[in-house]
Structure 1
Amino acid sequence: MTEELGLRARKKRQTAARIWSVAVDLCSERGFDHVSVAQIAEAADVSKMTVFNYFGTKEGVIVGPMEQHAADPARAVRERRPGESAVAAMRRQFLAQIAERDPSIGLSGDPRALKVRQLVNETPTLAHRMVIFHMRSIQLLADALAEETGDMLLARVAAAQLTGARNALIMENHRRAIAGDSLDEIAKGCADAAERAFDLVEKGLQGYPGNA
């Protein structure tokens, strides 16, 4: 039974990846607004219902994989070490993601990742979807901080600063990738920039929210 469940999960991941790849290629070639879900389904050799079951909406097909990481900052805070500040925990998580060349922070060797970023830049509906994604990430982090401090206002202030620094670093990675810089060059520059960015936030938050 365990083996069967594992095979089923692997096939689902493969199907989702195929739908995403086809959708990104079609939308990059024709423009997001000129590609239908039916066309994506046909090219991926699945039904329209399968596309909706996996991603919910056409926008979700393109940016869904990115949205799976909305809770990354909140998880870093919740799982941080005893006595570790929220800034230190997010810095440590981010540096680990750099070392792993994590696609979710803009370090991907897949050309389609750049196509997604370009589609977001060119398509208002996708850009709006990403704004909602970022707002959700901030709220998830604020919830995690407020659970400890009991102060949602300051939790939101801190969450906005932390996610703002993180998002700025990710945007710089995308910018450099689009400019043609190599993955190793981008990763090295990002690690140096991350140290400076989180240092700046740490000075403002000064160890917030205290010992865990």
Structure 2
Amino acid sequence: MSEDGGLRARKKARTRQTLSDTAIAMFLADGFDAVSVSDIAAAAEVSKPTLFRYFASKEDLLLHRIADHRGEAARTVRDRRPGETPLDALHRSLVEKLDRRDPVSGLCDHPQVLAYHRLVFTTPSIASRVIEYGAAETEALAEALAEAVRTGLAARLTAAQVIAVQQELARDTWSELAAGRSADEVHPEAVHAADTAYALLKNGAAGHGY
């Protein structure tokens, strides 16, 4: 890429980040439904057409914050340690996120993170977009698993279960924090939940009485 091309790419990335940060600040202050795209464009000092060149919807402005995590499960599988199974790598990665209170795990009690998760988990219009994100993550993870185990159907089924588990665990963990508990207090329970979830994924439900 030329120097001019790199400069343009960096400028576009900064603009995207500014638009998303402006929108999220307004959503947190006034509520998702109370803020219009016109409001966001005006606050960011851009036109609505310019905003829509960067984000197709208001929901995308909110979810841009998790864009860095797209494809993360697939990367975890591809970058796993020698001798480590894909599920063991995914399990380890989740526990590491819990240990460092990574917001994507749901176990982060910083007030702004809690407020952001509240928007994501409780705003009905976000639900369909989160499902779309989950579908894309499932597809990417299925490809990585298929590369690892050389079987398409099992890879797709496992990927769907892993992504569903990660989303459900994050939602449950956030719910405990939203109820007023601290991340340190919830951490042992969140790790136990992760252990239980991956035991189910590895060994099936029969061993748990189902």
- Same fold, TM-score > 0.5, yes or no: yes
Change in Cα spacing, 1:26 to 1:76, as seen in structure 2 (3 Å) is: same
Q: Deviations over 1:118-148 (max 9, x none)?
A: 3334433311000111111111111111123
Q: Does 1:35 align with 2:35?
A: yes
CA distance in 2, matches of 1:178, 1:134: 23
CA distance in 1, matches of 2:173, 2:17: 23
1:29 Cα deviation from its structure 2 partner: 5.1
One-letter code aligned to 1:136: A
1:177 Cα deviation from its structure 2 partner: 2.0
Structure 1 equivalent of residue 142 of structure 2: 142
Greater relative contact order (Cα 8 A, min sep 6): structure 1 or 2? 1
Structure 2 equivalent of residue 210 of structure 1: none
- TM-score, normalised via structure 1 length: 0.78
Change in Cα spacing, 1:127 to 1:80, as seen in structure 2 (3 Å) is: same
Which stretch of structure 1 is more off in the superposition, 151-160 or 22-31?
22-31
Superposed, 1:145-184 pairs within 5 Å as 145-184=145-184
Does the 8 Å contact 1:176/1:186 carry over to 2?
A: yes
Task: Identify unmatched segments of 5+ residues in structure 1.
Answer: 206-212
- Secondary structure, in 3 states, of the residue corresponding to 2:77? helix
Does the 8 Å contact 2:41/2:48 carry over to 1?
A: yes
- Identity rate, percent: 35
CA distance in 1, matches of 2:17, 2:104: 15
Query: RMSD across aligned C-alpha pairs, in angstroms?
Result: 3.0
Number of residue-to-residue matches in the alignment = 201
Change in Cα spacing, 1:42 to 1:109, as seen in structure 2 (3 Å) is: farther
Change in Cα spacing, 1:179 to 1:9, as seen in structure 2 (3 Å) is: farther
Structure 1 stretches of 4+ moved >6 Å: none
One-letter code aligned to 1:83: G
CA distance in 2, matches of 1:50, 1:192: 46
- Secondary structure, in 3 states, of the residue corresponding to 2:69? coil
Q: Deviations over 1:48-89 (max 9, x none)?
A: 455445444321111122243131111111111222111100
